[in-house]
Amino acid sequence: MKTFTILKPDDWHLHLREGLVLKNIIKFTSDYFGRAIVMPNTKNPITTINKAISYKNSIAQALPENSNFQPLMTIYLTDETDKDELIQGYKNNVFFAAKLYPANSTTNSSHGVKKIENLYNIFESMEDSGMPLLIHGEVTDSDVDVFDREEVFIDRELLPLVKRFPKLKIVLEHITTSHAVDFVQNNKIGATITPHHLHINRNAMFFGGLNSDFYCLPVAKRETNRIALRKAATSGNECFFLGTDSAPHLREWKAFCGCAGIFNSPVAIESYLTVFEEENALDNFEKFASLNGPNFYNLPPNKEKLKLVTRPNKISEFVNIIEEKNIVGKIKPFHAGETLNWQVEGIVK
């Protein structure tokens, strides 16, 4: 049995949802992660200071007792975002960062930005104040092939943005291509990488029939890209850090409409560890999970430690959503039914 400890990790990209789902799933993150950047694409997106405060309160209420987990809130940028409110919210520690969704790029993003140039005066203020810009990097034009949308976004939108705002703190979220890996390294911006993009390529969606369990956005790409992502994540390079993009959907909705998103938070750490072990890079896991992110965001690393062990770890088929002791829904986690070789043993003080 192998055992090692790392500083407690953070999740730099997470969807916590609301209401009953939030109450049932938050423990999977708050048990083992110190902080998480909470995405603002709730049904009614988080576009103002008041909405962010009330969402943060509902997260606090959903947390297990005595939890010291810290949700870091984000504002959802729209064509109508008020610059003064954005900066005021950042300076008063309501917003940790701003999230840019090109309109209709993913779940609940119909309010997103239609033309990025419209936000240039906002980016100017963000650059001045040090407020990070988190980007869902895909164009949404229907004439661009869905597998090319990240690459086209980088060349068409991100490159001019980086050139025009060289001091703006940018994170390209959930990268999926070797093109993104190269761009991030060459331009010294940050990037999060999900566990699922390290494990699956696009074949997974078509194995044994059309399978929406492996459908997420940006969609998984071909194998050469997966290999490039694994190399980047396990390299120890400080540009790359942990962001699960865990995005739960109730079973009936996933089956019915094939919504985009993979729920990986119950198994995220073990899933990443599997990759790092396969790549002979366990020594770099702490950098990716616990150090590179705080370093990028100018935050101290967490103080507590997490103990990890090798032990057969059978992942359950479903996570139950429970209301007053009744099962009212089910969500399928990533790696459902598989046995992984790693397990989180717990927090070491």
Active site residues: 245
Using CB under 5 A as the binding rule, whether residue 11 contacts Zn ion is answered as no
Q: Which is nearer to Zn ion, 245 or 270 (CB)?
A: 245
Q: Which residue is nearest to Zn ion (CB)?
A: 245
Q: Which is nearer to Zn ion, 11 or 151 (CB)?
A: 11
Task: Please report, as residue ranges, which positions from 202 to 221 form the binding site for Zn ion (by CB under 5 A).
Answer: none
Q: How far does the chain reach from its first CA to its final CA, in angstroms?
A: 22
Token duo for residue 321: 């959503």
Radius of gyration of the chain (CA): 19
Give the shortest CB-133-to-Zn ion separation in angstroms.
15
State how far the Cα of 179 lies from the Cα of 335, in Å rounded to an integer.
27
Give the shortest CB-262-to-Zn ion separation in angstroms.
10
- Of 14, 60, 30, 89, nearest to 243 by C-alpha is 14
Q: Mark residues 236-255: x for contact with Zn ion by CB under 5 A, - for none.
A: ---------x----------
Where along the sequence are the contacts to Zn ion (CB under 5 A)? 245
